[in-house]
Every structure is written in C-alpha cells, then in structure tokens.
Amino acid sequence: MKNFFSLFAAALLSAALVTGCSQPSAPAETVAPAGSLAAYFAPTETGVQDGNVQVIPISTPKGTFKVWTKRFGNNPKIKVLLLNGGPGATHEYFECMENFLPKEGIEFIYYDQLGCGNSDNPKDTAMWSLPRYVEEVEQVRQALKLDNTNFYLLGHSWGGILAAEYAFKYQQHLKGLVISNMMMSCPAYGKYADDVLAKQMKPAVLAEIRKIEAAKDFANPRYMGLLEPNFYAEHLCRIVPNPEPVSRSLGKINQSLYVTMQGPSEFGISGKLTHWDRVPDLPKLTVPFLAIGGKHDTMDPEHMRMIATKVKNGASLICPNGSHMSMYDDQQTYMAGLVKFLKAVDDGSFKAGTTL
C-alpha cells in the first residue's frame, strides 16, 4: 500500500509539472481602447520581449556601426525621439521624462548617438561630424518607422544643434521640433558667455580661469575645480549635487567627442562647432517649433525667445528657475510646457507666436 501511494503521488506530481510547463494556447487577442493604459504599454513586437530595445545598424563612410534605442510606451500619433547633449553624453539624463510623459500617453524614444552610451564607439575623430550625425538620425528614423504623422524630434544642448540641422534637411518627415536649451548661433553663444556670464563671476575667479585657459592647461584639476562651483552650479544645473541620472550620464561622456565638437568646457565654445550659425536660415523651418530656455542657462534666454519668432510656426517656453538642465531645476514648468506643445500640435490647436 505504501508503494501504491508513493507511485500515485509521483504520478500526480509528474502530471502537475507537465501541465505547468506546457504552453497553453494563446487566448483570443483583444484590442485595447486607444488612449488606454493597456494600449500605451501594448507590445509591438512578437516573440521574446526585450524592453523595446532596438539596436540599429548605421552606414557610415568608415563602415557599419550599431546604435542603441529604446522605446517607452506606444502612441501612434506622438513619438518623441530624444537627442542628448554633450556632445558625447548619454540618453540617461532624459530618464526624468518617465515621471511625466507616460501619464500623458506620450511615447518617447531613448537614443544613444554613435560614440555615446550603449552605442558603438568608433574612436575616430573623423566620425565626429555634424553632417554625418544628421544622416545617422535619418537612418534611425527610417529604422523606427517614424513619419510626419507622429515624429517629434527633441534636441537638448548639442542635441538641439543636431535636431535643427536634421530639420533643415529633412523637415518633411517631422510633425514637430523642440529645440531645448541651445542657441542657434555658436558665435552668439560664445559672446553671451564672455559678455554676460563671465561678468557674473568674482573677478579673481575669472582671472584664474582665464590664466589656465591661456596656458591651455585644461587637464589641470583646478580648472574644473573653479568652473563647477562658480559656473556649472549656476548655469548648468542648479541642483547640487546633481540629480543621479545627470551625474550618471555626464560621468560617461565621451571626452574625444566632446572636446572635438565643443571644446574643453561649457564656458564658451572652441571646437568644430565654433562658427556654426543658423539664425539666418530659421525662416526656412515651417514645422511646428518649440524653443525652450532657462533664465539662468548657459544659453541666452532672449535668444531662445527670438528664434521662436524667426521660424514660421514657433512658440517659446522660458523656465524662470531653470538653467541648462531646466528639465530638472525647473521641472514642472519644463514638462508642463513640453506636454502642452506636443498635445496642441497633435490636436491641431497649436498657434504660432504663443508663449507656453
């Protein structure tokens, strides 16, 4: 009898394991209502789910490389591709978007440009070229199947330069364009740093900074030791210590890319972008356009207001407590204005000339 019960129990366990490990037939698929939470998080891929990561091959003059993207949410009418700054930082400082855009049903897409974060790094300064990056963004757009019924491009800092250059060539693919915390003239940016921001520093501090710069002693730890409390904490991000995603992203910056394009610091500009100036061409932009600035930014807030008047369909948002990282240090203003713009363009209520 004991053997019988032992065999019977083993049979039951075996049956349970077979039942538990077998793959039941899939239930009939139901379509979630548009705009619902289920629709926003509905899978768009078949097979094993990977968190909506898509690694995209990019053709370049130096061969094929891979860049990393990750979609958050699903909205067939509003898809925001995020272009990080630096140049050479990562998508990670955009993680604050996760606390604001999903509850509005807005899809956004993280993207590490070539040489940044999770993407390939060719380690070749010839690849750090604005025209080449424009073609990279276009290849990403094609791979993600974005078009003018849903494609919004948001570029922050260097990403704003890249977004603008992309729009000048490919605006027919855009539904909306957001230039965040980036002037459309690097000479004007350098002049603002020299004529306005530098004069806000203590004279002794500024004199020591200029002495180090004159000697090109940028590796001297004293240089950043002076800039961080006297410039970065005032104009880059006014939350000190910086929010963790900002520190994590900037801690991974590709110095080769940054110095080649920007120069040794945020205190003015001296790299490949030194002479970049697109202000005269702004009237060519006809796509709905939002310029975002901050009162305490490294970028002149009056310039940000001005560029919104130069394009055909522009609006501006100046964050009164914001710096270069206004999405953190004036977060509520930044996010409310961004969401308002995206939704207004989508529902057709957007009006040029507004101040958000």
| pLDDT, position 34 | 60
pLDDT digits (tens, 9 = 90+) for 194-226: 999 999 999 999 999 999 999 989 889 999 999
Closest residue by Cα to residue 180 from 152, 206, 149, 209: 152
Other CB atoms within 10 Å distance of the CB of residue 52: 18
What is the number of H-type helices and E-type strands within the chain?
A: 12, 8
Q: What is the CA radius of gyration of the chain?
A: 24
Could you tell me the residue ranges of all domains in the chain?
48-356
**Rounded CA separation 184/247 (Å):** 26
User: What does the alpha-carbon distance between residue 342 and residue 73 come to, in Å, rounded to a whole number?
Assistant: 15
DSSP-assigned states of every residue in 305-337? HHHHHHSTTEEEEEETT--TTHHHHTHHHHHHH
pLDDT tens by residue, 216-271: 898 899 999 999 999 999 999 999 999 999 999 999 999 999 999 998 877 878 88
Helix (H) or strand (E) holding 130: helix 130-144
DSSP, collapsed to helix, strand or coil, labels residue 97 as helix
Q: Kindly list the catalytic residues.
A: 157, 297, 324
Q: In what order do the strands lie in the sheet with 176-180?
A: 53-60, 63-72, 107-112, 79-83, 151-156, 176-180, 289-294, 314-319
Could you tell me the maximum CA-CA distance found in the chain, to the nearest angstrom? 97
Which amino acid, 339?
A: V
Q: Residue 24 has what pLDDT?
A: 38
3-state secondary structure 20-61: HHCCCCCCCCCCCCCCCHHHHCCCCCCCCCCCCEEEEEEEEC
Which stretch of DSSP H or E encloses residue 247?
Answer: helix 244-250
Residues of the chain with pLDDT under 50: 1-31
Asked if residue 277 lies in contact with residue 187, where contact means CB atoms within 8 angstroms, the answer is yes
Question: Residue 109 belongs to what H/E stretch?
Answer: strand 107-112
pTM for the model: 0.89
Contacts of residue 138, defined as CB under 8 A and 6 or more positions apart, other chains included, come to 166, 169, 170, 173
Topology of 48-356 in CATH?
A: Rossmann fold (3.40.50)
